[in-house]
Amino acid sequence: MLSSIIFLPLVAGALLAVPAVPDRVARWTWIAVTAAEVVLVGVLIARYETPADGDLAFEERARWIPSVNSSWHVGVDGLSVPLLALTAVVFSACAVYGLREDRRPRQHAALFLALQSTCMGLFAAQDLIVFFVFFDLSIVGMYAAIAGWGHGRDAGRSALQFFLYTFLGSLALLLGFIGLYLAADPHTFDIPELVAAAPLQDHPVAGGFVLAALLLGLAVKTPTIPFHTWLPPAHTDASAIGSAVLAAVLLKMGTYGFVRIAMPAMPDAWRGAAWVVLAVGIASVLYGALVALAQTDVKRMIAYTSINHMGYVVLAVGAAGLLGTGTAARELAVTGAVTQMVSHGLITGALFLLAGVLHDRTGSYAMRDYGGLARSAPVWSGLFAVAAFASLGIPAFSGFIAEFQVFAGSIGTTAWAAIALPGILITAALFLRALQLLVTGLPGGRSIGFSDVRAVEAVPVTGLLLLSLAIGVLPWLLLDLITPASAVLVDLVGR
Amino acid sequence: MEQSPLALLPELCLLGGAVVTLLAGSFLPRQRQWVARLVAVAALLVAGVSAALAFPRDAPLGGVTETVFGAFVLDTATGVTRLVVVAAVLLVIGLGVDELAGQARESETYTLLLLGGLGAIVLAATDDLLTLAVGFLLASIPVYALVGMVRSPGAAEAALKTYLLGALSGILLLLGATVLSGIAGGTAYADLATGLAAAPAAAVAVGALAVLAGLLFEAGGVPLHQWVPDATQGAGTAAAAFLTTVPKLGALVAAARLVDVLPGSLPWPLLVGLLAAATMTLGNLAALAQTDARRLLGWSTVSQVGYLLMPVAVVTSTSAATPALLVYLAGYAVTNLTAFAVLAAVPGARSLTDFRGLARQRPALAAALVISLLSLVGTPPTAVFLGKLTVFTAAWDGGLAWLVVVAAVNTVVSLFYYLRWLVEAFRPGEPAATAGWPHAAAVAGALGVLAVGLGAGLVTALVGDGTLG
C-alpha cells in the first residue's frame, strides 16, 4: 500500500520521460496520477487506525543493505499521515495548474511526478538512509525545476544557490545520521529502533555534536534564521508551481525531521538545546515578518512570510523540549506545530499559485505596478484576499487553529514564547498592505486590461483554500490524527 | 598454504591474453585488428569468470587466508579487486573502440591495458615488498606508454612528466622497501609486523613513507599527483579513462595492506588522514577553475583519491574500513568510467561549453552524464553515495571524525564544478557529433552506477566484513 503510493508517481514519471509521448497525453497523465494519489492517500486515511504507542500503521519492511542494518522500512503515524495527505493535495493542485505550462510539458510532468515520489517517500521513511535518499533526491528534483522552468535572468544562479545551501545541509544531516548509527548498539539506521534505544542518552558531548549536525541540516531546509538566505531568490526565480511545491511540501521536510528523528531519538540533547531552538524560532518569526513587511515584490513577500510561519513550528518544537511544566501544554505545542505544517502548505501553496497568475499576465511581481485589481480581476482579488486572511491567521481557517495551539502550548510552557506574538500583528499588517496595493483603488498600471483567473488557475487555488477552511471549521478531523502521536512524542522527549 | 598456480588463473588469463593479443596484432592487417580486440575481450571475460569462481566465499574472517607462493593473498580484497579491474578494463575497451579502431597501435593498446590491469591486481594482492615493487612497475610502465600513444605535443609532455614522476616514485618505493626489509629482517608483511615493532620509529617512518610515496603516485594522491591532470588532458580518452581508474584500484588496496601492518610507534591514522584531507582539498580547489572537461575530470579524480584514502587511514582501528574501501573503489570505478564514456561519445568536445545542446540532442547521453556526475558528488541512490556513506562511517568509527567533517565540506565544494558542467549540458547549443560504441558504454555504465547504488545490499554482502588477510 505505502510503497505503491510512493512509487506510483515515479513509475508514471519514468514512462513520461520516453520521448514518444505527446504533450497532451503527458499533461493529462500527470493529473490522473496525482488524482490517483489523492484517492490512495484518502483510502489510507480511511483505513488508518491510530497505532499503539510507538508503533506504526501500514508498516512495510524489506531487506536493503543488511550489513549496515539499513532496510526499506516505511510506515506512518499521526505525524506523517497529515503530511502525506498535504503532499498528495498540493501536487494534484499543481498538476491542474500545470495544464497551462507550454515549455517542455512532458519533461515538466515527469519531473514533478518524480519529485512527488521523493516527498511521499520522505514522509513515510522509517529508516535514516531511506529518509536521506529521498531528502537528497528532492533537492536534485527541485534544482532541475528551478533551473529548467524558472523565470528571470538569474534562475540558474538561484537554483545553484538553492542546491549548494540545501546540499550542505543534507551533508550535515548525513553526518548526524552516521553519528546516531555509530552510537547505537548494535549499529542501526532504523528510526524506530533508534528512538527506542535513544543511543546518545548518556553522552552529552557526542550527543551535542550529533544534534548540532542534525539541527544544522534541518534548519537549512526549514529554513530558519540564519540559514534562510537561499529561500527568497529560489522562490522569486522559480515557476509558480515550483514555488508552491517548494514552500508547501519541501520546507516541511526540515520541520518533519525535528519531530520524526531529532526529538524522539535524542531526547536528552534536545532538552539541552531547547532554549536555543526556541530562540531561533522567535527570531525567525519576528525577522521573517519584518523583512516581509519591507518587500515591494509580492512573491518575495510571500517567501519571507514562509520564514515567519515556519518559525512558529520551530518555536513550538523548541518549547516541547522544556520540561518542568505540565505535559499538556507541550503536547498542545507539538500538535500545533504539525497543524501549522499542513496549514502553511495549503495556504502558501495557494498564495504562490495566485502570484504566478500575476507574472503570467504581466511579467511583474512589483506591488506598485498594480492597483485596483478588484475591478479588473474580481475573482483573483477575492481568492487572494481569502488566502491573505487565511495566512494572517483569521479564525475559521487552518492558520488560526495552528497558531492558536502553537502559542497556547508554547506560552503555557514558557512565558518567553510571548515575545513572538507581535509576529502575528506584523503579518496582518503586511498582508493588509499587500491587499491595499494590489486590489483596492482604481485600476492603474499593469492592472489595466488584466484578464481574470481561468478555470485551471482558479480550481486548484480554490481547492487548497477550501481544505484550509475545512480544517479551520472542523479541526478535529485533523487533530484526532495528530494528537495521539504528539502525546507519544512528548513522552519520548521527556525520557 | 596453497601452492597451486591454478589459483592464479585470472592473472594468467590476463598475461596470456596480453601476449596473444600482441602476437595476433603483429600479424594482422590494419583493417582486421578487431580480431586482436576480440582476443583481449575474451581473455578478460575468462579472467572475470575464473575470478568469480575463485571468489573466496567462505573466507574465514580475519583468520588465515590462502596465499600462493607466500606473496599473493587470496582474500576478499583480492577477489573484489580482480572483478572490478576486469570489469573496468572491459568498459575502457568498450568506450575506446571508436577511438582506437584502425589506429596504427590498436592491438598494442589492448596489450598495455591488459598488462596494466594485471599490474593493478598484483599490487592489490601482494603481501610482500618485493612483489609490491614488481606490481608497481607492471602497473606504471603501461601507463607511460598509453599516455604517449597519441602523437601530440601535449601527450608527449604528459608522458614525459608521468614517466619522470613515476621513475622518481619507483625509486622511492624501492628505497623504502630496502629500508623496511633491512630493519625488519624480511620482505613479507608478516615479517614487517613482527620485525618493525621494536625498530626505531624514525627508520620505520622513512621506509614506510617512501613506500607510501610510490603508492601515492600510482593512485594519484598528493603530493605525487601532478601528472594526473596533465596525463588525463593530453592522453587519448580511453587511456585517460584507464589511468584515472585502474591503477588506483591496486594502489589503494596495497596502501591499506601496508598501513595495516605498520607498528603503532607513529600515528599512522593521523598521517594518512592528513594526506587524505590534503588530497581531496587540493583536487577540489584545483578542479574549480577548470574549463576543459578532461582536465576537470583529472582533478576530480585527485579529489576522489582523498576520499579513498579515508578508509586506508583507519584500517587498523575499525573492521569497517576494508569493506568501505572496496565498496568505494567499485563505485568510483564504474562512475568515473561512465563519465569518460560520455567524453568518448562526444569526441569533438573538449571544453565544457562544447557540451551545450547535449540534453536536447542526446538525452540518453545527457542522462548518463547527470548520473555519473551526481554519483561523483555522492548523491543517492548512486554508487559513490554508497561509497561515501560507508567510508564516512568507517572513518568516524575509526576515530577520525574531523576528517569526516573535512570530507563533507569538500563534497559541497565539489558541487560547484560538477554542476557547472551539467548546466552547460542543458543549455541550448549546436548538435554534437556522437560515436556509437562509447554511447552504449556510457548508458551501460550509468545503469551500473544505479545498480551498485540500489543493489547496495548485494554489493556490501559481496565485500562482507572482510578484513585484510
Contact yes or no for A217/A179 (Cβ under 8 A): no
Identify the domain containing residue A278 by its residue range: 1-494
Among partner residues B408, B415, B456, which is closest to A175 by beta-carbon distance?
B408
Sort out which chain B residues have CB atoms less than 8 A from A67's CB and list them.
323, 457, 460-461, 464-465
- Can you tell me the distance from the alpha carbon of A294 to that of A311, in angstroms, rounded to the nearest whole number? 18
Sort out which chain A residues have CB atoms less than 8 A from B368's CB and list them.
none
Among partner residues A67, A133, A181, which is closest to B380 by beta-carbon distance?
A133
Residue B3: the pLDDT is 57
**Distance to chain B for A171, nearest Cα, Å:** 6
- Torsion angle in degrees (nearest 10) through CA of A292, A295, A301, A303: -80
Classify each residue of B395-412 as buried b or exposed e, where b means 16 or more C-beta atoms within 10 Å of its C-beta: bbbbebbebbbbbbbbbb
Among partner residues B408, B409, B419, which is closest to A163 by beta-carbon distance?
B419
Q: CA B438, B439, B445: angle at the middle one, nearest 5?
A: 80
Sort out which chain B residues have CB atoms less than 8 A from A65's CB and list them.
386, 456-457, 460
Residue A226: the pLDDT is 86
Test A129 with B393 for CB contact under 8 angstroms.
Answer: no
Return the HEC string of chain B: CCCCHHHHHHHHHHHHHHHHHHHHHHHCCHHHCHHHHHHHHHHHHHHHHHHHHCCCCCCCCCCCCEEECCCEEECHHHHHHHHHHHHHHHHHHHHHHHHHCCCCCHHHHHHHHHHHHHHHHHHHHECEHHHHHHHHHHHHHHHHHHHHCCCCHHHHHHHHHHHHHHHHHHHHHHHHHHHHHHHHCCCEHHHHHHHCCCCCHHHHHHHHHHHHHHHHHHHCCCCCCCHHHHHHHHCCHHHHHHHCCHHHHHHHHHHHHHHHHCCCCCCHHHHHHHHHHHHHHHHHHHHHCCCEHHHHHHHHHHHHHHHHHHHHHCCCCCCCHHHHHHHHHHHHHHHHHHHHHHHHHCCCCCEHHHHCCHHHHCHHHHHHHHHHHHHHHCCCCCHHHHHHHHHHHHHHHCCCHHHHHHHHHHHHHHHHHHHHHHHHHHCCCCCCCCCHHHHHHHHHHHHHHHHHHHCHHHHHHHHCCCCCC
Q: Is B427 left (phi over 0), alpha (psi -120 to 50) or beta?
A: beta
Place of cell 561523483: B376
Sort out which chain B residues have CB atoms less than 8 A from A160's CB and list them.
419, 423
Among partner residues B404, B409, B456, which is closest to A64 by beta-carbon distance?
B456
- DSSP annotation of A187 reads -
Q: How far is CA B262 from CA B2, B30, B209, in A?
A: 26, 51, 11
Q: Which DSSP string do the residues of A395-435 spell out, in sequence order?
A: TTSHHHHHHHHHHHHHHHH-GGGGGGTHHHHHHHHHHHHHH
Q: Which residues contact B437 (CB under 8 A, 6 or more apart)?
A: B94, B95, B97, B98
Q: Which amino acid is at A335?
A: T
- DSSP annotation of A190 reads B
- Can you tell me the distance from the alpha carbon of A43 to that of A47, in angstroms, rounded to the nearest whole number? 6
Hey, what's the cell of A16? 513520461
- Compute chain B's Rg from CA coordinates: 21
Enclosing H/E stretch for A83: helix A81-97
Among partner residues A19, A129, A178, which is closest to B396 by beta-carbon distance?
A178
Sort out which chain A residues have CB atoms less than 8 A from B415's CB and list them.
163-164, 167
Please enumerate residues of A whose Cβ is less than 8 A from a Cβ of B.
Answer: 19, 63-68, 70, 129, 132-133, 136-137, 140, 147-148, 156, 160, 163-164, 167-168, 171-172, 174-175, 178-179, 181-182
The Cβ of residue A166 has, within 10 Å, a number of other Cβ atoms equal to 28
Sort out which chain B residues have CB atoms less than 8 A from A68's CB and list them.
389-390, 393, 460
- Compute chain A's Rg from CA coordinates: 21
Among partner residues B380, B397, B460, which is closest to A132 by beta-carbon distance?
B380
Test A137 with B380 for CB contact under 8 angstroms.
Answer: yes
pLDDT tens digits in sequence order for chain A, 495 residues long: 899 999 999 999 999 988 788 888 899 999 999 999 999 999 999 999 888 877 888 999 988 888 888 899 999 999 999 999 999 999 999 999 988 888 888 989 999 999 999 999 999 999 999 999 999 999 999 999 998 888 877 888 888 889 988 999 999 999 999 999 999 888 899 999 999 988 888 888 889 999 999 999 999 998 888 888 899 889 888 999 999 999 999 999 999 999 999 999 999 999 999 999 999 999 999 999 999 999 999 999 999 999 999 999 999 999 999 887 778 889 999 999 999 999 999 999 999 999 999 988 888 888 888 888 888 899 999 999 999 999 998 999 999 999 999 999 999 888 899 999 999 999 999 999 999 999 888 888 888 888 888 888 999 999 999 999 999 999 998 999 999 999 999 989 888
Sort out which chain A residues have CB atoms less than 8 A from B393's CB and list them.
68, 178, 181-182
Contact yes or no for B246/B334 (Cβ under 8 A): no
The Cβ of residue A143 has, within 10 Å, a number of other Cβ atoms equal to 22
Q: Is B3 exposed, middle or buried (0-12, 13-18, 19+ CB in 10 A)?
A: exposed
Please enumerate residues of B whose Cβ is less than 8 A from a Cβ of A.
Answer: 323, 363, 374, 377, 379-381, 385-386, 389-390, 392-393, 396-397, 404-405, 408-409, 411-412, 415-416, 419, 423, 426, 456-457, 460-461, 464-465
Test A148 with B363 for CB contact under 8 angstroms.
Answer: no
Q: Which amino acid is at A233?
A: P
* Rounded average pLDDT per 10-residue block, chain B, 469 residues: 71 94 87 88 94 71 61 88 95 91 86 95 92 94 91 88 94 94 89 87 92 94 92 92 94 94 88 95 94 94 95 91 93 95 90 88 90 92 92 92 93 90 85 81 92 85 69
Q: How many CB pairs under 8 A join A and B?
A: 73
Among partner residues B363, B408, B415, which is closest to A164 by beta-carbon distance?
B415
Q: Residue A372's Cα: distance from chain center in Å?
A: 32
**Distance to chain A for B385, nearest Cα, Å:** 9
- Pairing mode, if any, of strands B72-74 and A57-65? unpaired
Among partner residues B374, B377, B423, which is closest to A156 by beta-carbon distance?
B423
Among partner residues A63, A160, A179, which is closest to B419 by beta-carbon distance?
A160
Instruction: Count structural domains, chain A.
Output: 1
3-state secondary structure (DSSP) of residue A188: coil
- Residue of A137, A158, A174, A177 for testing the chain B interface, max B β-carbons within 10 Å: A174
Residue A334: the pLDDT is 93
Report the chain B residue with the minimal C-alpha distance to residue A19: B363
Test A66 with B416 for CB contact under 8 angstroms.
Answer: no
Test B457 with A64 for CB contact under 8 angstroms.
Answer: yes
- Can you tell me the distance from the alpha carbon of B124 to that of A71, in angstroms, rounded to the nearest whole number? 32
ipTM for the complex shown:
0.87
- DSSP annotation of A98 reads G
- Can you tell me the distance from the alpha carbon of A332 to that of B307, in angstroms, rounded to the nearest whole number? 46
Q: CA A168, A9, A51: angle at the middle one, nearest 5?
A: 80
Report the chain A residue with the minimal C-alpha distance to residue B454: A64
Q: Which amino acid is at B176?
A: G
- Can you tell me the distance from the alpha carbon of A128 to that of A70, in angstroms, rounded to the nearest whole number? 8
- DSSP annotation of A203 reads -
Report the chain B residue with the minimal C-alpha distance to residue A171: B408
Counting every residue written for chain A, the total comes to: 495
**Distance to chain A for B192, nearest Cα, Å:** 32
Report the chain A residue with the minimal C-alpha distance to residue B374: A140
**Distance to chain A for B75, nearest Cα, Å:** 19
**Distance to chain B for A305, nearest Cα, Å:** 28
Test B457 with A167 for CB contact under 8 angstroms.
Answer: no
- DSSP annotation of A201 reads T
Among partner residues B389, B409, B457, which is closest to A66 by beta-carbon distance?
B457
Sketch the domain layout of chain B as residue ranges.
Answer: 267-468
Test B426 with A163 for CB contact under 8 angstroms.
Answer: no
**Distance to chain A for B255, nearest Cα, Å:** 24
Sort out which chain A residues have CB atoms less than 8 A from B426's CB and list them.
147-148
- Residue of A73, A129, A171, A177 for testing the chain B interface, max B β-carbons within 10 Å: A171
Test A67 with B457 for CB contact under 8 angstroms.
Answer: yes
Test B323 with A181 for CB contact under 8 angstroms.
Answer: no
Test A67 with B426 for CB contact under 8 angstroms.
Answer: no
Q: Which amino acid is at B277?
A: A
Sort out which chain B residues have CB atoms less than 8 A from A164's CB and list them.
412, 415-416
Phi, psi at A60, each rounded to 5°: -135, 145
Residue B62: the pLDDT is 43
Sort out which chain B residues have CB atoms less than 8 A from A163's CB and list them.
415, 419
The Cβ of residue B415 has, within 10 Å, a number of other Cβ atoms equal to 22
